[in-house]
Amino acid sequence: MKSLLRRFVLVRENVSLAVGTLVDNRFRSFLTILGVFIGVIIVVGVASVLNGFRQSVVDQVEEFGTNNIYVYRFPFVQTGRLPREIRMRRPLKHEDAVAIGELCPSVQTVSVGLQIDFGVTAKYRGEEMQGPHFRGVPPDDERVSHSTIKEGRWFTESESQHRADVCVIAHNVTEALFPNESPVDKSIEVSGHRFRVIGCTEKLKEGPFGQDNQEDSVIRVPYDTFRKYYPNMDDHFIVLEARSGQLDRAVEEVTQLLRRRRGVRWDEDNDFEVGTANSLIESFDKIVFATLAVMFVLSTVAFIVGGVGVMNIMLVSVTERTKEIGLRKSIGARKADIVQQFLTEAVLLTGTGGVLGLVLGELLMNGLALIAPTLPVATPMWGRAFAFVGSVTVGVVFGMWPAMKAARLDPIEALRYE
């Protein structure tokens, strides 16, 4: 009980001593904690942007439907150049999609399409749009793509069968070609072919950097209409909607069916990609984690640089106060008391750096949110915790040696020190 009270009394004393020293040496302290300060800002900044970025990707992916399955021959999230065996994969066929619809009981709706991504120009009278995505899809795509018709209607089964020259345009296309009028029943020209606009869709969520959602720049025509003009294109993508609650089973059925149809041997990996909202988020998370690792290394470097600065200044502090240490020991300070005194000082230094970094980081992130309102910055709790724990740890680790050095001083020698 008595020793507990003593501990408490000493903690109080050491904290107020450390605060006094910090305040007395404001400028020196500030320079000392700069490294820790920067380390914390790196952590908070990267964690916030990454967390926000991820959240926005999750929102976007989930907007397309959490029950959807995407099938394509190439990976959805690509980092760097693909290896040869992936680049050589055979395209998916229209018949594959038909087979899925017939043979996979857990799949409710099938949409299979072709798309031209580059070099497309859309024109209407004087207006022109460069680079929309030109896509041929079945009528079921309305359901699968979770598009909402804003004006007009979607194309029908009959229009698809008769290869009618009709199209449904997404938000950005409407904005570009029809700034002042309704697009419905107007005739537009897409890469030299004329189509009648029968409907337009609502705007989708913007991407993490405020960039437009790719899906807002799509011109959809019936699949067979598209084939009429581009009979040689065969690089199909397939989008499926699983029956409610049967997503995993549907993925399994589709995978097995495609492996059989594409002749993949039992011991070989899939030569196609099957993705869901979750698997897309997971593959994005790999990028998130890679970035986090880089952040971890950078902030660790900043913390170490900061820590060396703290150690340096603590050694100076111990030397400056040699006589004071001698006095404290002569009137009853024990080794542990002196260690505690200087560790408290070091931890207060780095902890202050950490808190200042957190505050400035928060301000910077709020500023960033003002400049780029669509960039969803959200500082995650783990980012703050990591930054704070990191800065305190730096104080303990790099303050330990100077504190031990102080505690080991011989009181007689220390009292004689001038």
- Residues forming the site for other proteins (CB under 8 A): 2-3, 5-7, 9-10, 12-13, 20, 24, 323-324, 326-337, 411-412, 415
Smallest separation, CB 330 to other proteins (Å) = 5
Whole-number Å distance between alpha carbons of 411 and 326? 4
Smallest separation, CB 56 to other proteins (Å) = 53
CB atoms within 10 A of CB 380: 16
Whole-number Å distance between alpha carbons of 137 and 87? 24
Smallest separation, CB 401 to other proteins (Å) = 19
Q: Which is nearer to other proteins, 20 or 373 (CB)?
A: 20
Q: Which is nearer to other proteins, 197 or 349 (CB)?
A: 349
Q: Which is nearer to other proteins, 104 or 414 (CB)?
A: 414
Smallest separation, CB 356 to other proteins (Å) = 24
Q: Which is nearer to other proteins, 304 or 327 (CB)?
A: 327
Smallest separation, CB 389 to other proteins (Å) = 30
Six-digit token string for 289: 């984690």
Contact criterion met (CB below 8 Å) for 317 and 342: yes
Burial 145-164 (b: 16+ CB within 10 A, else e): bbbeeeebebbeeebbeebb
Q: Which is nearer to other proteins, 343 or 358 (CB)?
A: 343
Among 328, 324, 392, 406, smallest CA distance to 358 is for 392
Burial 80-109 (b: 16+ CB within 10 A, else e): eeeeeeeeebeebebebbebbbeebebbbb
Contact criterion met (CB below 8 Å) for 342 and 310: no
Q: Which is nearer to other proteins, 13 or 165 (CB)?
A: 13
Cα–Cα–Cα angle for 143, 148, 153, nearest 5°? 85
Among 99, 221, 201, smallest CA distance to 156 is for 221
Q: Which is nearer to other proteins, 5 or 370 (CB)?
A: 5
Smallest separation, CB 393 to other proteins (Å) = 27
Smallest separation, CB 296 to other proteins (Å) = 40
Whole-number Å distance between alpha carbons of 384 and 392? 12
Q: Which is nearer to other proteins, 19 or 372 (CB)?
A: 19
Q: Which is nearer to other proteins, 214 or 322 (CB)?
A: 322
Smallest separation, CB 403 to other proteins (Å) = 16
| Region of residue 122 (left: phi > 0; alpha: psi -120 to 50; beta: else) | beta
Whole-number Å distance between alpha carbons of 75 and 242? 20
Burial 207-245 (b: 16+ CB within 10 A, else e): bbeeeebebbbbbbbbbebbbebeeeeeebbbbbbbeee
Smallest separation, CB 331 to other proteins (Å) = 4
Smallest separation, CB 333 to other proteins (Å) = 5
Six-digit token string for 272: 């196609």
Q: Which is nearer to other proteins, 6 or 90 (CB)?
A: 6
Whole-number Å distance between alpha carbons of 210 and 192? 31
